[in-house]
């Protein structure tokens, strides 16, 4: 269908809604031609020919990368962009040249073809599912009005300017202008979970002039033209004008239905397509899908280039040696050792020798390295998938690793960016407590009237007296129901307000079965509470509200609704009761409403304020309720002034706001409500644990500021102990800059006040300022609104924002768009050079999930878009601690140990050829036979290192969770870096030296062992034994598989060795296996075994000695943890009666853990864990984590101010930061 992109951001990508994967932006270019950006869009209804001349994008979505013809060339081109694949292809070409090849071509082509084939099959499978998903979405049916008749059309055939009919529970196919609906006044209800992550319903309304177009005959003659803004990513804004019947009508976002929404509780509606396909706001908001590589991948690519340079240097040295040898010595042996026909000089011989040695020495980086890495990653992914502790039985949802390339990076995360609604919370609001007439309700009381804990015997309030009560509503304080039944006028008025002051819609499908359609979960919870306590909201019309009060139906005349907004932070209704009395009911934020109360009854004000503080301390969402009686004459005058203000075009909003302010004053306080937005289970504990692991958590939410801040307190991201919470709400660039600077100055002032001695310079380098700020005293939090964030992310201010945010312990960004979420993640990636993880559950989180190094999707209430775009998915936020602190840390540890050992064993193997070159006339003769060279990495040494890479552990999983500080080496990239790489190759070179020269020296002095083949067998056997002993030393967690692979590999080596020197193979292949009985004869010599033993001891003893001294003098935290575990086991056997052993890993709160005997508590203020004196008696006075902190300070000057050191400098009790 030739979808065309117009006005889209550069590099923007697709986000297929309603069950499709999120796929690369470049896929769109395959089916779309580019045009200059639009300045405005003109759309005429029922006029396809007119609209097509603008070449607007169709509704066709194409996300696949290949087709049958292009798959092979494009896929091979992509694969050979990998440095390693190109390197091995180059070696293969060299091996096909007989003049320089001393190895058979099959040693390279077989593994290369295998790797390319596996990757191609994987890519083809992925693209097949993309094609399948494309067809699924593009083939969905929609009713399109064509020539006055509704016809079924596939989504991909829908065009801009078409009129579409939607029915209840259908997805919106494109961005539509709502024309009419089945509801009165052109209203319709939509769910926007795919767009902004909110599951509550929202109301949209057609403009009055089109709301009467309810049948197809009228709509067929509708020829209005819309002139509006070009395609953009602003979900909450739309500006345009409808020109029809020689008049114009303004259009806003309230008139639009966006792709990704679902029509709810509305029988049908008609809409005019304004934006289609890639031009829709959902697609415009999806960030580019990026190919994600780990830092280890990038480092490996660099190391491959370094190794290739080292390989060239060795080749040059040996080639020069060959030229000199041929010139000085070889020339004298031309009769016995003639040059090849093509060789006419010693220089050319050296040139050919150079390429021969490149082939021989290429095993320093065998292709099996990349195959092994993928196998290990696959194993780690299966461990995540199989983890029963990350399985949610309630939803039957296991954890899923949707990629196999990022596992080790899970052990290096420094920043987590989290959505709020549905990720931290369940998005379920519960009416928890309330305060009415100086009394707080909601706590369970014992017989003496004191607060009691909920127990198994606690019975909830019985609402059986009310046939209309919601059976799912639960309340525990019977005192509130008793007050209702006793006729307490204050309680009655309290619930009357809750039943009237809202915008909820009621639906009664069956008699007595009420269903509320609320725009926010808060309102739904409040109206449901009033319903259960006898004040049942039954129905509404534009002018009336009907409530059943304690069984009696009462209808109120609705005079006005003063709606909620972020500035007013309150809403009011003005109603007239059956007695003719006019009353204003108001509910809103305490900070706003308490200022507008009548000055009387100060005692009620004080008690209610105390209750509000108590509720807020529990992390509950609070509202204050008040009312005001209005005189008829005053109301009439006020209503007239309001009507005039609404008809004035200039300054209309300010005039209306002032009239609202006027009437919402001198109110009488009724009470307060407290609603619990239920956190997911384990969220506070998870956040506390991740914070202790030095992971910074930022919450990026589309929700309003008050909600986000309340949740921040509930999940313990924000605490009352924090020095200050900075709230950035500026509407201009200047205001935002000033607020950020004030925040930084306060942080710097606090540092100076505690004696840090910092002075705040006017102009200082960004990196220096950041490091100074990160070392400030005290704990701070930053809360910033979306409109302020838009300015903060501008190029000239982004660094100031980042510096301020990174100095804070917690950061909360409110009212942010999906694209802003991605921009915040990109900002941290750009300047902090840290591994980022984004976690969310809705389509509005897709951009940041795809932007972050690692994306995690939660399969919750908001569709599957986040899961489909993610790298990992599970059902609850609390599983993130296991994903990072257990699976991530283990994956990083295993991959680092694997790489260190792999480079070591291959340098030890390959460098023997280099030393041998000096004793074989630099003739490119190999030490080992070609079968050993082929099998060394595939058979003899592959399985033991794979077992270590898949199964190894340093500490058990529960210790990883008890000691979050164990996570820090991954963040600092300590276990595999350039320094560790050089140590590994130095050990490999050291091993190769003794591997060659000890047997060479023995064979030089022993006439019985003077042949080349016996020497090759001895060196090869020494090598296999040494590297097997080394893998045994490197293995920290032994399983039956490790034993089987290590000893089995040795057994296979000897079996193959004896088989290749047997009579049977010689008789079958006499030209290939000529050395019959050589292995048997060689290994029958005691001198050979003594040589092998001596070589093994000399190669291994220095490693053992170094590790022993390091463990004794400078142990790592993991060493200390293992030691204390051994001590604890001894204590258990010797002192079973001493002390009570607590449950492993139990958590009492987010900041205090209980451990088994030998451990103290995790103190909230210091956040450190003290090990028992018995456990650390032999480690007293030794640094255990100081080396980590030293490196952290080098990485980011200023370090982590929360690092705890021993107060005494080395007593029997050491303090370890964990």
pLDDT in tens, 696-751: 999 998 776 776 787 888 788 888 888 889 999 888 899 999 999 999 988 888 76
Mean residue pLDDT across the chain: 81
Q: 240-276 burial, b if ≥16 CB within 10 A, otherwise e?
A: bebebeeeebebeeebbbbbbbbbebbebbbbbbbbb
Please tell me the distance from the alpha carbon of residue 25 to that of residue 627, in angstroms, as a whole number: 54
**What mean pLDDT comes out for the span 565-571?**
78
Q: Is the pLDDT of residue 17 over 60?
A: no
Q: Is the pLDDT of residue 358 over 80?
A: yes
Relative orientation angle of helices 521-532 and 489-500, to the nearest 10 degrees = 140
Whole-number pLDDT of residue 1154: 26
pTM over 0.85: no
Where is average pLDDT lowest: 447-456, 559-568, 596-605? Answer: 447-456
Whole-number pLDDT of residue 582: 95
Whole-number pLDDT of residue 1143: 36
Whole-number pLDDT of residue 455: 53
The catalytic residue positions are 419
Given pLDDT bands bounded at 50, 70 and 90, which one contains residue 1117?
Answer: confident
Distances 880 to 438, 686, 1067 between C-alpha atoms, Å:
43, 7, 61
For residue 584, give the 3-state DSSP assignment. Answer: strand
The pair of structure tokens assigned to 1174 is 């018995």
Name the DSSP letter for residue 225: E
Please tell me the distance from the alpha carbon of residue 1081 to that of residue 438, in angstroms, as a whole number: 100
Q: Is the pLDDT of residue 257 over 70?
A: yes
Please tell me the distance from the alpha carbon of residue 853 to that of residue 967, in angstroms, as a whole number: 18
Whole-number pLDDT of residue 36: 63
Whole-number pLDDT of residue 948: 94
Whole-number pLDDT of residue 1173: 33
Whole-number pLDDT of residue 186: 86
Partnered with residue 515 across adjacent β-strands are 507
Q: Is the pLDDT of residue 1092 over 90?
A: yes
- Adjacency order of strands within the sheet including 41-44: 41-44, 225-228, 240-244, 247-251
For 134-156, the pLDDT digits (tens) are: 788 788 889 999 888 899 999 88
Relative orientation angle of helices 368-386 and 942-951, to the nearest 10 degrees = 30
Whole-number pLDDT of residue 276: 93
Whole-number pLDDT of residue 918: 92
Which residues fall within 8 angstroms of residue 431, CB to CB, at 6 or more apart? 473, 475, 525, 526, 528, 529, 673, 675
Q: Is the pLDDT of residue 1214 over 60?
A: no
970 touches 835 (CB < 8 A) = no
Whole-number pLDDT of residue 557: 94
Whole-number pLDDT of residue 454: 55
Whole-number pLDDT of residue 773: 57
Q: Is the pLDDT of residue 240 over 60?
A: yes
DSSP string over 974-1012: -SSSHHHHHHHHHHHHHHHHHHHHHHHHHHHT-TTS--H
Query: Which residue is associated with the tokens 């449950």?
Result: 1143
Q: Is the pLDDT of residue 13 over 60?
A: no
- Adjacency order of strands within the sheet including 582-588: 439-441, 425-436, 668-679, 621-630, 582-588, 570-576, 552-562, 544-549, 535-540
Whole-number pLDDT of residue 1094: 96
- The pair phi, psi for residue 246, each rounded to 5°, is 60, 25
Whole-number pLDDT of residue 775: 59
Please tell me the distance from the alpha carbon of residue 634 to that of residue 630, in angstroms, as a whole number: 7
Given pLDDT bands bounded at 50, 70 and 90, which one contains residue 285?
Answer: confident
Please tell me the distance from the alpha carbon of residue 1180 to that of residue 556, in angstroms, as a whole number: 77
Given pLDDT bands bounded at 50, 70 and 90, which one contains residue 99?
Answer: confident
165 touches 183 (CB < 8 A) = no
For 666-703, the pLDDT digits (tens) are: 999 999 999 887 788 889 899 999 999 999 999 998 77
Whole-number pLDDT of residue 4: 32
Where is average pLDDT lowest: 764-768, 787-791, 1173-1177? Answer: 1173-1177
Query: Which residue is associated with the tokens 């007439």?
Result: 437
Between strands 505-510 and 570-576, the pairing is unpaired
638 touches 588 (CB < 8 A) = no
Distances 730 to 62, 528, 657, 782, 794 between C-alpha atoms, Å:
41, 36, 20, 13, 14
Question: In 10 A of CB 597, how many CB atoms?
Answer: 20
Query: Which residue is associated with the tokens 């139906």?
Result: 553
DSSP string over 1181-1215: T--SSHHHHHHHHHHSTT--TT----TTSS-SSPE
For 110-142, the pLDDT digits (tens) are: 777 877 887 788 788 878 887 887 788 788 889
**What mean pLDDT comes out for the span 607-633?**
88
Given pLDDT bands bounded at 50, 70 and 90, which one contains residue 552?
Answer: very high
Distances 20 to 57, 133, 473, 818, 972 between C-alpha atoms, Å:
20, 6, 36, 18, 37
Please tell me the distance from the alpha carbon of residue 909 to that of residue 913, in angstroms, as a whole number: 8
Given pLDDT bands bounded at 50, 70 and 90, which one contains residue 61?
Answer: confident
Given pLDDT bands bounded at 50, 70 and 90, which one contains residue 1164?
Answer: very low
- The pair phi, psi for residue 692, each rounded to 5°, is -65, -25
**What mean pLDDT comes out for the span 1039-1045?**
94
- Give the helix/strand (H/E) hosting 734: helix 733-753
- The pair phi, psi for residue 855, each rounded to 5°, is -110, 130
Distances 953 to 429, 949, 1170, 1171 between C-alpha atoms, Å:
42, 9, 24, 22
Whole-number pLDDT of residue 457: 53
Query: Which residue is associated with the tokens 């190894």?
Result: 952
Which residues fall within 8 angstroms of residue 666, CB to CB, at 6 or more apart? 596, 597, 598, 628
Cα of first residue to Cα of last residue in the chain, in angstroms, is 58
Q: Is the pLDDT of residue 447 over 80?
A: no
Which residue blocks in 852-888 are alpha helix, DSSP H? 865-869, 880-882
Whole-number pLDDT of residue 1153: 25
231 touches 223 (CB < 8 A) = no
Whole-number pLDDT of residue 742: 92
Q: How far is CA 241 from the centre of its chain?
A: 41
Between strands 835-840 and 854-858, the pairing is parallel
Given pLDDT bands bounded at 50, 70 and 90, which one contains residue 1141?
Answer: very low
Distances 567 to 314, 594, 706, 1072 between C-alpha atoms, Å:
72, 15, 12, 87
Please tell me the distance from the alpha carbon of residue 205 to that of residue 219, in angstroms, as a whole number: 17
**What mean pLDDT comes out for the span 646-661?**
76
281 touches 275 (CB < 8 A) = yes
Whole-number pLDDT of residue 1184: 40
Please tell me the distance from the alpha carbon of residue 461 to that of residue 474, in angstroms, as a whole number: 7
- Rg, C-alpha atoms of the chain: 37
User: CA nearest 507: which of 520, 516, 497, 496?
Assistant: 516
Whole-number pLDDT of residue 291: 64
pLDDT higher at 1166 or 164: 164
Distances 1093 to 120, 1018, 1083, 1087, 1096 between C-alpha atoms, Å:
46, 11, 12, 10, 5
pLDDT higher at 1200 or 789: 789
Q: Is the pLDDT of residue 23 over 60?
A: no
For 476-506, the pLDDT digits (tens) are: 888 999 999 999 999 999 999 999 999 888 8
Torsion of Cα atoms, 420 then 423 then 427 then 428, to 10° = -130
Given pLDDT bands bounded at 50, 70 and 90, which one contains residue 1150?
Answer: very low
Q: Is the pLDDT of residue 1 over 60?
A: no
Provide long-range contacts, Cβ within 8 A and 24+ apart, for 998-1002.
Answer: 998/1022, 998/1091, 998/1094, 998/1095, 998/1098, 999/1091, 999/1095, 1000/919, 1002/1087, 1002/1091
């Amino acid at each position: 269908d030739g979808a065309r992109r117009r006005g889209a951001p550069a590099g923007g990508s697709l986000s297929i809604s309603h069950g499709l994967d999120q796929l690369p932006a470049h896929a769109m270019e395959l089916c779309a031609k580019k045009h200059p950006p639009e300045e405005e869009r003109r759309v005429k209804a029922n006029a396809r020919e007119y609209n097509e001349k603008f070449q607007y994008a169709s509704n066709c979505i194409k996300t696949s990368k290949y087709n049958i013809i292009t798959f092979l060339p494009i896929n091979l081109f992509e694969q050979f962009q990998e440095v390693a694949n190109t390197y091995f292809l180059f070696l293969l070409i060299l091996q096909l040249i007989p003049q320089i090849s001393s190895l058979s071509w099959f040693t390279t082509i077989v593994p290369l073809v295998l790797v390319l084939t596996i990757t191609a099959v994987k890519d083809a499978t992925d693209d097949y599912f993309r094609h399948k998903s494309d067809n699924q979405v593009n083939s969905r049916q929609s009713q399109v009005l064509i020539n006055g008749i509704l016809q079924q059309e596939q989504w991909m055939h829908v065009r801009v300017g078409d009129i579409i009919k939607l029915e209840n529970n259908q997805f919106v196919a494109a961005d539509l202008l709502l024309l009419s609906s089945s509801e009165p006044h052109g209203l319709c209800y939509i769910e926007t979970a795919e767009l902004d992550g909110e599951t509550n319903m929202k109301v949209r309304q057609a403009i009055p002039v089109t709301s009467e177009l309810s049948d197809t005959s009228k709509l067929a003659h509708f020829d209005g033209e819309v002139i509006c803004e070009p395609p953009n990513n602003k979900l909450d804004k739309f500006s345009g004008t409808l020109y029809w019947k020689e008049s114009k009508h303004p259009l806003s976002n309230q008139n639009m239905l966006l792709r990704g929404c679902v029509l709810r509780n509305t029988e049908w509606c008609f809409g005019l397509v304004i934006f289609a396909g890639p031009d829709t706001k959902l697609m415009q908001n999806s960030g580019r899908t990026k190919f994600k590589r780990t830092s280890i991948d990038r480092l490996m690519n660099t190391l491959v280039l370094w190794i290739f340079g080292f390989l060239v240097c060795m080749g040059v040295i040996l080639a020069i040696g060959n030229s000199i040898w041929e010139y000085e010595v070889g020339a004298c042996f031309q009769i016995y050792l003639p040059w090849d026909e093509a060789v006419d000089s010693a220089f050319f011989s050296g040139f050919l020798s150079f390429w021969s040695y490149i082939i021989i020495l290429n095993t320093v980086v065998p292709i099996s390295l990349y195959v092994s890495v993928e196998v290990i990653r696959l194993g780690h992914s299966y461990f995540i998938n199989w983890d029963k502790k990350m399985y949610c039985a309630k939803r039957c949802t296991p954890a899923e690793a949707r990629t196999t390339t990022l596992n080790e990076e899970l052990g290096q995360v420094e920043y987590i960016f989290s959505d709020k609604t549905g990720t931290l919370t369940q998005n379920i609001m519960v009416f928890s407590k309330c305060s009415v007439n100086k009394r707080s309700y909601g706590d369970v009381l014992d017989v003496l009237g004191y607060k009691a804990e909920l127990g198994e015997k606690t019975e909830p309030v019985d609402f059986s007296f009310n046939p209309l009560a919601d059976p799912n509503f639960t309340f525990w304080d019977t005192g509130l129901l008793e007050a209702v039944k006793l006729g307490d006028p204050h309680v009655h008025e309290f619930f009357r307000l809750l039943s009237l002051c809202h915008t909820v819609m009621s639906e009664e499908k069956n008699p007595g079965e009420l269903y509320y359609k609320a725009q926010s979960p808060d309102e739904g919870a409040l109206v449901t509470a009033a319903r259960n306590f006898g004040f049942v909201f039954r129905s509404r019309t534009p002018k009336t509200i009907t409530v059943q009060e304690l069984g009696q139906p009462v209808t109120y005349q609705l005079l006005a609704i003063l709606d909620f907004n972020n500035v007013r932070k309150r809403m009011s209704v003005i109603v007239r009761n059956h007695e003719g009395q006019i009353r204003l009911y108001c509910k809103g934020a305490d900070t706003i409403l308490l200022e507008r109360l009548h000055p009387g009854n100060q005692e009620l004000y004080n008690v209610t304020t105390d209750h509000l503080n108590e509720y807020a301390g529990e992390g509950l969402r609070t509202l204050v309720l008040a009312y005001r009686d209005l005189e008829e004459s005053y109301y009439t005058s006020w209503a007239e002034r309001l009507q005039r203000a609404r008809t004035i075009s200039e300054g209309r909003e300010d005039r209306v706001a002032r009239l609202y302010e006027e009437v919402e004053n001198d109110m009488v306080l009724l009470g307060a409500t407290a609603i619990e937005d239920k956190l997911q289970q384990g969220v506070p504990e998870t956040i506390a644990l991740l914070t202790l692991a030095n992971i910074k958590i930022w919450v990026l939410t589309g929700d309003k500021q008050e909600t986000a801040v309340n949740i921040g307190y509930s999940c313990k991201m924000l605490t009352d102990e924090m020095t200050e919470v900075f709230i950035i709400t500026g509407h201009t660039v200047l205001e935002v800059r000033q607020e950020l600077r004030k925040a930084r100055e306060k942080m710097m002032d606090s540092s100076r006040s505690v004696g840090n001695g910092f002075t705040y310079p006017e102009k200082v380098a960004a990196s220096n300022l950041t490091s100074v700020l990160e070392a400030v005293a005290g704990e701070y939090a930053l809360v910033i609104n979306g409109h302020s964030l838009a300015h903060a992310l501008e190029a000239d201010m982004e660094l100031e924002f980042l510096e301020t945010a990174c100095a804070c312990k917690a950061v909360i960004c409110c009212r942010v768009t999906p694209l802003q979420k991605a921009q915040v993640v990109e900002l941290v990636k750009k300047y902090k050079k840290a591994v980022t993880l984004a976690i969310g559950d809705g389509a509005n989180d897709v951009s940041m999930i795809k932007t972050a190094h690692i994306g995690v999707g939660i399969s919750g209430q908001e569709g599957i878009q986040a899961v489909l775009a993610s790298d990992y998915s599970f059902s609850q936020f609390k599983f993130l601690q296991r994903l990072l602190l257990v699976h991530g840390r283990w994956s990083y540890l295993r991959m680092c140990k694997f790489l260190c050992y792999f480079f070591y064993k291959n340098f030890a193997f390959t460098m023997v050829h280099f030393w041998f070159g000096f004793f074989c006339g630099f003739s490119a003769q190999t030490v080992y036979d070609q079968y050993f060279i082929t099998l060394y990495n595939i058979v003899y040494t592959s399985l033991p290192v794979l077992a270590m890479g898949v199964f190894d552990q340093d500490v058990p999983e529960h210790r990883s969770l008890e000691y979050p500080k164990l996570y820090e080496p991954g963040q600092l990239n300590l276990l595999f870096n350039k320094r560790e790489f050089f140590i590994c190759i130095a050990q490999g070179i050291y091993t190769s030296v003794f591997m060659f020269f000890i047997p060479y020296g023995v064979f030089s002095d022993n006439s019985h062992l003077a042949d080349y083949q016996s020497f090759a067998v001895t060196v090869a056997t020494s090598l296999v034994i040494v590297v097997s002993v080394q893998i045994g030393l490197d293995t920290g967690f032994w399983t039956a598989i490790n034993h089987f692979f290590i000893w089995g590999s040795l057994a296979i080596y000897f079996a193959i060795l004896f088989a290749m020197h047997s009579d049977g193979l010689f008789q079958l292949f006499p030209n290939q296996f000529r050395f019959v009985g050589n292995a048997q004869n060689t290994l029958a010599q005691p001198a050979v075994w003594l040589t092998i033993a001596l070589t093994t001891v000399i190669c291994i003893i220095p490693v053992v000695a170094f590790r022993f001294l390091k463990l004794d003098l400078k142990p790592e935290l993991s060493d200390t943890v293992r030691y204390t575990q051994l001590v604890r086991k001894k204590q258990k056997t010797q002192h079973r009666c001493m002390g009570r052993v607590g449950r492993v890993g139990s958590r009492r709160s987010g900041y205090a853990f209980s451990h088994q005997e030998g451990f103290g508590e995790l103190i909230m203020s210091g956040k450190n864990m003290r090990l028992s004196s018995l456990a650390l008696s032999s480690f007293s006075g030794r640094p255990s984590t100081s080396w980590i902190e030293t490196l952290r300070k080098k990485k980011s000057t200023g370090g982590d101010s929360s690092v705890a050191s021993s107060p005494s400098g080395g007593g029997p009790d050491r303090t370890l930061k964990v």
